[in-house]
Amino acid sequence: MSGTADTTSLSTARLRLRPFADGDLDRLHELYGDATVMAIRKIGTQDRAGTAAQLQQILGHWWRHGVGLWALFSRDDDRFLGECGLRLRDDGTAELAYGLIPDAWGRGLATEASVAVLDDAFDRLRLPRVAAVARADNAASHKVMRKLGMQHVATRPRASDGGVVEFAIEAAAWPSSRRR
């Protein structure tokens, strides 16, 4: 499941990951405009203008930090499947984020993409720690984080949606068997 990396792409057995580009609005809106997907995401369902604003944030993050969310594509048919990557928080913490279109759910693709992103985070980027945050009611995301070897570190209540949980993994704990 381990991926290969350079500064412009990652790949796994089933996925090709590349940074989002200006021309990806329709693709990203397939994800961010889907009420089923966004019901379990922290930002909620986006209209086209909201998705366009999110895309600009994604592109700006890549430009400022040299890391960000990757667009996920099937290696079999080049179909857009979702996103996975890192966001750097204001406090400097690297946060893993992922989301898939419903047709890609339940096949282990979020875990597969996350392994490639974490390999890159710990090997190429030399990050000491990566966190992940999900809504408290998003059991599928918690399962992915646990499969990655992340440990629960905090639960924060929020009145708007029942709260969020944070998981994290230190570079030293990332299994060397998963690395290239």
Please report whether residue 76 resides in a domain. Answer: yes
Please report whether residue 72 resides in a domain. Answer: yes
The SS3 assignment for 36 reads helix
Please report whether residue 180 resides in a domain. Answer: no
Q: 67 lies in which domain range?
A: 4-128
The predicted structure's pLDDT at residue 170: 96
pTM of the model: 0.89
Please report whether residue 80 resides in a domain. Answer: yes
CB 161 within 8 A of CB 70: no
Number of domains within the chain: 1
Please report whether residue 177 resides in a domain. Answer: no
Mean pLDDT for the chain overall: 88
Please report whether residue 58 resides in a domain. Answer: yes
Cα distance between residue 139 and residue 162, in whole Å: 13
Cα distance between residue 172 and residue 98, in whole Å: 22
Please report whether residue 142 resides in a domain. Answer: no
For residue range 2-57, what is the model confidence (pLDDT) as tens digits? 444 445 899 999 999 999 999 999 999 999 988 787 776 667 788 899 999 999 99
Please report whether residue 176 resides in a domain. Answer: no
- Tokens found for residue 52: 């366009």
DSSP code of residue 169: E
Any idea what the CATH number is for the domain that residue 87 is in? 3.40.630.30
